[in-house]
Amino acid sequence: MKGATSPKKKKKKITGKKVLKWIALTPVSPLLLLWWLLRMLWKGWCGFVHLLGFKRLDGYILKKFLTTYFFLILIIIIIAIIFDFNEKIDKITGTGATWGEIIFDYYANFIPYFAVMFSPLFTFIAVIFFTTNLASHSEIIAMKSTGMSFRRLLVPYMLGAGIIAGLTFGLGGWVVPHGNVAKNAFENKHVKKRQMVDVAENVQMQVDTGVIAYISFFDNRTKAGSGFILTKFEEKKIVSNLEAETIQYDTLADHKYSWTLRNYKTRTVRSTRDILGHGERKDTTLLMEPKDFFYAYGQQETMTIDELNYFIDRQRLRGSAGLATFEVEFHKRFAAPFAAFILTLIGVSLSSQKRKGGMGTSIGIGLALTFAYILFQTVSSSFAINEGWNPALAVWTPNILYFFIAAWYYWRTPK
């Protein structure tokens, strides 16, 4: 009939069973999972900063800090890539390197390596740059006029330093070492043309407590050697001796440390007499691998923190020399991220006040302190490697010294 109203459509209720059915029938795409993960991370981050009592002003400072830091890193990386490519273009193209190798094997790993190396420097510069800008526009004065103390002002700065330190630690501890394997291989092949060392002579190491192994000659290409001697000591006395003309590492074995000895002789020392033995072939397990006989240039940069720790403990047990380089690298993985907090504190204390010289004075003092820090760290590390200084003390000394400098700047800054 005319004028009759059409019946209202009933709204369908969304029940839990329907939601589960839609999830079961809908294919989950990687982009959907990524969106969900980022959403969860953002909610977790918001909850975390809420617990810290974060306000909009803190978010403003944190955003300025991180965007300035990443912008400076991006600019310097672009400049470094241009100069590096311009310097090495003849060597790279002359050896037949493909663009895929140049981009993915070299520069894709060059970027995080360079970013981690100069992260403390650009943390300091970023803090000074944008904090001086805030001070010159009287924004920090306005913050303090509302009752905000200098200690409270440091909260977003320290959180930003914590984010940078976490990224530096994660990249430098695990990501960069894996990338350095491909980067170093590319440099050795196309740039430096450094041949890999495949032969070792007169290798001696402790493979177990009181067990000394000696190999006169070893070829890493064939995984075979000659002139092998294995001597076991107890209370500084020889209790057994094993000699073999040749030794071969079994690369097809189900477990590591599997070796085959040929034309061997054994001697077991007893209180009254010696027991002698010999044979043509002997399969045995020795706690050593062919890679233990070679120290490649820059090898410490290709190891993660876990691998460095295991390698140092193992080589120390064997009585190996030349471990200072690896110990210095191990402690640098922890000292470099920690420096972000110290340099951030110095930067804020130095640039939070208006100066007659403006931004130039703060940046000049900041750059002088930063380059002095890098120089001091390089010199102390060199003394640890070449002069026998304690590696941990040598690496952490710049941080300890600059901690007192940061405390002094913090103490003299109006609160």
Tens digits of residue pLDDT in 220-263: 989 999 999 999 998 888 999 999 999 999 998 888 899 999 99
Closest by Cα among 402, 290, 293 to 346: 402
Q: How many helices (H) and strands (E) does the chain have?
A: 13, 6
Residue 12 has pLDDT above 90, yes or no: no
Mean predicted confidence (pLDDT) in 299-315: 90
Strand partners, 215: 203, 228
Q: Which pLDDT belongs to residue 3?
A: 47
Tokens encoding 282? 């002997």
Contact, 189 vs 361, CB < 8 A?
no
Percent of the chain with pLDDT over 90: 46
CA distance 328 to 56: 42
**Backbone dihedral angles phi then psi of residue 90, each to the nearest 5 degrees:** -65, -40
Residue 4 has pLDDT above 60, yes or no: no
CA distance 19 to 15: 7
Q: What pLDDT digit, counting tens, does each position of 172-197 carry? A: 999 999 999 999 889 888 887 666 66
Q: In what order do the strands lie in the sheet with 258-269?
A: 199-208, 211-219, 224-234, 237-249, 258-269, 274-285
Q: Which pLDDT belongs to residue 1?
A: 44
Q: Which pLDDT belongs to residue 6?
A: 46
Contact, 257 vs 247, CB < 8 A?
no
Tokens encoding 11? 């709204």
**Backbone dihedral angles phi then psi of residue 243, each to the nearest 5 degrees:** -125, 140
Percent of the chain with pLDDT over 70: 88
Q: Which pLDDT belongs to residue 196?
A: 63
Residue 308 has pLDDT above 60, yes or no: yes
Mean predicted confidence (pLDDT) in 265-271: 90
| Chain mean pLDDT for the chain | 85
Q: What pLDDT digit, counting tens, does each position of 13-72 carry? A: 556 555 555 555 455 555 566 667 777 877 777 777 777 677 888 888 999 999 999 999
Q: What pLDDT digit, counting tens, does each position of 134-143 carry? A: 888 888 888 8
Eight-class DSSP state of 105: I
Q: What pLDDT digit, counting tens, does each position of 318-362 carry? A: 777 678 999 999 999 999 999 999 999 999 998 887 766 666 777
Closest by Cα among 64, 87, 67 to 75: 67
Strand partners, 240: 232, 268
Q: What pLDDT digit, counting tens, does each position of 103-150 carry? A: 999 999 999 999 999 898 899 989 998 898 888 888 888 888 888 889
Alpha carbons within 13 A on the beta-carbon side of 143 = 23
CA distance 212 to 319: 10
User: Greater confidence, 291 or 284?
Assistant: 284
Contact, 264 vs 283, CB < 8 A?
no
| Three-state SS at 95 | coil
Q: What pLDDT digit, counting tens, does each position of 19-28 carry? A: 555 555 455 5
R_g of the chain, CA atoms, integer Å: 31
pTM, entire model: 0.79
User: Greater confidence, 165 or 185?
Assistant: 165
Eight-class DSSP state of 387: S
Residue ranges with strand state E in 270-342:
274-285
Residue 5 has pLDDT above 50, yes or no: no
Q: Which pLDDT belongs to residue 79?
A: 94
